[in-house]
Amino acid sequence: MADIARLAGVSKATVSRALNRSPLVNEETRTRILELASSLKYTINIGAQNLRLKQNRTIGVVVPYDSTTRQHLSDPFFLSMLGSLADALTERGFDMLLSRVDAEQLDAAAMPFDTGRVIGLILIGQWRHHDQLNGLAARHVPIVVWGAQLPQQLYTTVGGDNVSGGMLATEHLIAAGRRRIAFFGDINLPEVAQRYSGYCNALARHGLPLDPQLRVSVSFLPEGGDQAVREIERRAVPYDAAFACSDLLAMTAINTLRALGKQVPGDVAVVGYDDIELSTYFHPPLTTIRQPIRAAGQALVGALLAIIDSKPAGSLQLPTELIVRATSA
Amino acid sequence: MADIARLAGVSKATVSRALNRSPLVNEETRTRILELASSLKYTINIGAQNLRLKQNRTIGVVVPYDSTTRQHLSDPFFLSMLGSLADALTERGFDMLLSRVDAEQLDAAAMPFDTGRVIGLILIGQWRHHDQLNGLAARHVPIVVWGAQLPQQLYTTVGGDNVSGGMLATEHLIAAGRRRIAFFGDINLPEVAQRYSGYCNALARHGLPLDPQLRVSVSFLPEGGDQAVREIERRAVPYDAAFACSDLLAMTAINTLRALGKQVPGDVAVVGYDDIELSTYFHPPLTTIRQPIRAAGQALVGALLAIIDSKPAGSLQLPTELIVRATSA
DNA sequence: CTGAAAGCGCTAACAG
DNA sequence: CTGTTAGCGCTTTCAG
């Protein structure tokens, strides 16, 4: 900037003003400076600017990962979420600092905030780390989490409406004439627990019994679908449908069902969750519960910026939607 | 820092030294300062430190996207790559600034560098933007690209060995007794072109004719597999195998083959590319060419840091590997 | 071993 | 309209 000032025969202050399009600077001087700057390919040093302005337009996006199961990068759902966040942040002129942290050491997630690198954090995935997240919020780290709303929650969440998602899926299967509906998912995870309660509600509403033997606890890893099917077969309980807590789970489950000689949806109807892009192109195309990814990115960013602005930002539940395709016909 | 200095009864300089573990500071003073700092949850402001040190430990990772086809976020391969990069960068103490840029305006990718936010760029995906990439390199933007090595290339690439990948796949199919092998992919993309040339080599080596009718040009979008199969059926050329340029393509192709009543691998053997995690759990498990993702992240980061250090960093081709599963049995 | 002082690149009073 | 000056939070000579 000093160079430009010298070459333009003005002071650094004027250059700064010109570059920031201050109305205080003469039209003519301004264009001269701007041209000089662009011919020298000069751009303001954002670090210095941030320091001076005590501002910062970078948001930290954290993907917690489970070091034992690597339960994080298998699912295309995350990638879509990342994309949606990138779009929402870009749109509002923010940069995105991406980090992965061990889910057991979630405090580490706050480092970019503590060191002033970012002004707030978006966490993709709540898992079972409610307490650690509360801890961060108690420290006044501006944070928004993609996940379920829980009692005594100090942090803000944005998530799909899991209860109604679970209901939609289950009622759809019931409407399709299914009576013995298996549930695949780990209810220790808050989101899955809510989907399960939606499932229970739907059964109750239609006077169907809740058989605990029909619930199989599996992780979100791709092998989960296979495991779930094999487990329920081992239990030898009759079932004519399955509600899987992710599309990936549903797809791998369907593959195993087929391998075991079952027809989908003939013998077993299947509904997934998320509506990842591949679901449409799967064979047969997968019936699923759509999570509104675009809206999710917008909502997460909106909520975080509100918090940073110290405006109250309540937790949010985004509507989910049943997408009927062929696996439940 | 001024606060800590005051509370510890020392100068800012001493605090700085203590925090940076300088040997110049008295053991006792140091621990006092360190304790004070941690009790106040103080952390050095990285922005200010960077400014003063004229350093920066942030790398920009850029995912170009095609605004018309959104040819970017459908494929789990990218997510794995992102994860691998995140790991490699974290390991070496670098932060990752993630951005998406319109592939038609790749110059924009350099912005975080021009403004001093990052010290170098990693681009995931070369697509057909060789010239723009050369332009960036000519401007001395430190940059490494995941993609194919091309003639007259000013930038550094790291990529899988596509020619040998194409050969491995094709020779495997030939060894399995297939003679009419379709190729699914857009050879306008350098990586795909190289895989195609591997495919041609393999055919030639075994004295098999190269039938241009067997090559179907489709994008990497998930619907590509479906389109490819329908196109080749429309052409009514006989084929007994297909080599698809991504696993996603292979999977959606298999679904469509099945929908058309063809057996896989009975009627048509299929080989994919990338070895994404889902491939193992697909039904039938997918034969594919593995790209060494972990090594890729390491290599990309390593090459970029070398360039930043103004050490010469030649382009690199990582070995690919044939993973035989059930779709080619 | 410690402190005073200068300065990284930028912006914003304040004074012309 | 423009320049002078101070200072964002940090590190590092240079003197004690």
Which amino acid belongs to residue B185? Answer: G
> For all residues of chain A together, what is the average pLDDT?
93
Query: By the 8 A CB rule, do A128 and A64 touch?
Result: no
DSSP assignment string, B145-164: EES---SS--SEEEEE-HHH
Lookup: tokens for B70:
């959104």
- Whether the beta carbon of A118 falls within 7 A of nucleic chain D: the reply is no
Chain B: nearest CA to A149, how far in angstroms?
A: 27
CA of A7 to C1' of C14 (A): 26
Lookup: tokens for B200:
């041609």
CA of A49 to C1' of D2 (A): 21
| Inter-chain CB proximity A112 and B98 less than 8 Å | no
Residue nearest to nucleotide D9 (CA to C1'): B48
Residues 6+ apart with CB under 8 A from B284: B264, B265, B325, B326, B327, B329
Task: Give the relative orientation of helices B247-259 and B76-91 as an angle to the nearest 10 degrees.
Answer: 160
- Residue in B76, B79, B99 closest to A86 by CB: B99
Q: Does residue B83 have a pLDDT over 60?
A: yes
| Nearest nt by C1' to A33 Cα | D2
- Per residue in B94-103, pLDDT (tens digit) is 999 999 998 8
Which range (A58-62, B76-80, B264-268) has the least confidence? B76-80
- Count CB neighbours of A193 within 10 A: 18
Q: Does residue A166 have a pLDDT over 80?
A: yes
pLDDT-based confidence at B71, cuts 50/70/90?
Answer: low
Residues 6+ apart with CB under 8 A from B300: B85, B88, B122, B144, B146, B158
- Residue in A44, A50, A79 closest to B79 by CB: A79
- Per residue in A175-222, pLDDT (tens digit) is 999 999 999 999 999 999 999 999 999 999 999 999 999 999 999 888
Q: Does residue A321 have a pLDDT over 60?
A: yes
Q: Does residue B167 have a pLDDT over 60?
A: yes
- Give mean pLDDT, residues B154-167: 97
Count of residues making up chain A: 329
3-state helix, strand, coil in chain B (%, to 5): 45, 15, 35
- Give mean pLDDT, residues B188-203: 97
- Count CB neighbours of A69 within 10 A: 12
SS3 A252: helix
Report chain B residues whose CB lies below 8 A from the CB of A225: 281
- Whether the beta carbon of A14 falls within 7 A of nucleic chain D: the reply is yes
Query: By the 8 A CB rule, do A249 and A218 touch?
Result: yes
Q: Does residue A72 have a pLDDT over 60?
A: no
Query: By the 8 A CB rule, do B157 and B126 touch?
Result: yes
Chain A: nearest CA to B203, how far in angstroms?
A: 31
pLDDT at position A73 is 60
User: pTM surpassing 0.85?
Assistant: yes
Chain B: nearest CA to A87, how far in angstroms?
A: 8
Q: Does residue B75 have a pLDDT over 90?
A: no
According to DSSP, the β-strands at B287-290 and B321-323 are antiparallel
Residue in B with minimal Cα distance to A114: B43
Q: Does residue B70 have a pLDDT over 80?
A: no
Query: By the 8 A CB rule, do B43 and B36 touch?
Result: no
- Give mean pLDDT, residues A95-112: 92
Q: Does residue B69 have a pLDDT over 80?
A: no
Which residues in window 27-66 of B are less than 7 A from strand D by Cβ?
44-45, 48-49, 51-53
pLDDT at position B329 is 84
Report yes or no: B225 at the A interface, CB cutoff 8 Å.
yes
Q: Does residue A235 have a pLDDT over 80?
A: yes
Q: Does residue A154 have a pLDDT over 90?
A: yes
Residues 6+ apart with CB under 8 A from B207: none
Q: In chain A, pLDDT over 70 holds for what percent of residues?
A: 98
Report yes or no: A152 at the B interface, CB cutoff 8 Å.
no
Q: How many CA atoms lie less than 13 Å away from B306 in the CB half-sphere?
A: 16
CA A85 distance to own-chain centroid: 8
- Per residue in B228-279, pLDDT (tens digit) is 999 999 999 999 999 999 999 999 999 999 999 999 999 999 999 999 988 9
